[in-house]
Amino acid sequence: GTRLGLLGPNGSGKSTLLRVLAGEVALDAGTISRADGLQAILFEQGRAALDPSASLRKALCPNGDTVVYRDRRLHVAAWAKQFLFRPEQLDVPVGDLSGGEQARVRIAQLMLQPADLLLLDEPTNDLDIPALEVLEDSLAEFAGALVLVSHDRDLMGRLCTEVIGLDGRGGAALYGSVGQWLSAYERGTAEESTLSGKPSAPAAPRPVPAAKPRKLSYREQQEWEEMEATITAAEQAVADRQAEVERAAAAGHAILSEACRALEQAQSAVERLYGRWQELEAKRQS
């Protein structure tokens, strides 16, 4: 289906347009033509509350032990694996999952909803690296159409085949890429300033698009590119240390204490890596 990116300066109406398309906000003017039986779903991080007392199994598969996805019937364990959950997590309450894990639950729920059109409003907000990857993979597999609003221009560039740019004054135009829209927007803003004979007034600044990600230093860029593999290895180390703790449980207090200390150190390493990744990502997006 069509994969459309929606871009524009802050306040240009991107989120409002998604809500209009979803039928949540009435039009002030104009009309919308909808295909008969069109099912559109609006998705935002944090929009759908999860039941913290429900098990992961129940959240992923509320009716029985199987789900139907793309005309295939999958056992809940296989479905959970697609969203990076381990079988032993299935009976864990959703409230005990991390923020990134809960985000993956919402993505799994989204992919099971009957939809011809997905309307995605900043779906990457507050996602960790595994959840970002799950989201992108899931959207890439989605057979219907989607409209994406996101400050993650890399994601938009990979997923979207067309881009519509809103100018903040009621106008819109179709572009071939995010870069084309940004160049056209900046050029149009500069031309307006030249024609007016004066720069933009500081008291009433013109809305501008989200800033381009700032380039990291060469070493930071290398670190950022390797961070995913580094975190994956660190998380595997946590799993290995957890297995050692379980084996050490019957081996005596001293061995068990040593295994627990190693596990704590491995968990701390993962936390530090996620913190560092967030620092690098914030620098790229600032």
Q: Is 206 helix (H, G, I), strand (E, B) or coil?
A: coil
Q: How many CB atoms lie within 10 A of CB 13?
A: 16
pTM of the complete model: 0.62
Q: What is the pLDDT of residue 130?
A: 85
Q: What is the pLDDT of residue 213?
A: 46
Residue 120 burial by CB count (10 A; 0-12/13-18/19+): exposed, middle or buried? buried
Q: What is the pLDDT of residue 215?
A: 60
User: Span 17-26, mean pLDDT?
Assistant: 88
Backbone angles phi, psi at 135, to 5 degrees: -60, -50
| 193 within 8 A of 199, measured Cβ to Cβ | yes
Pairing of strands 145-149, 162-166: unpaired
Pairing of strands 172-175, 40-43: unpaired
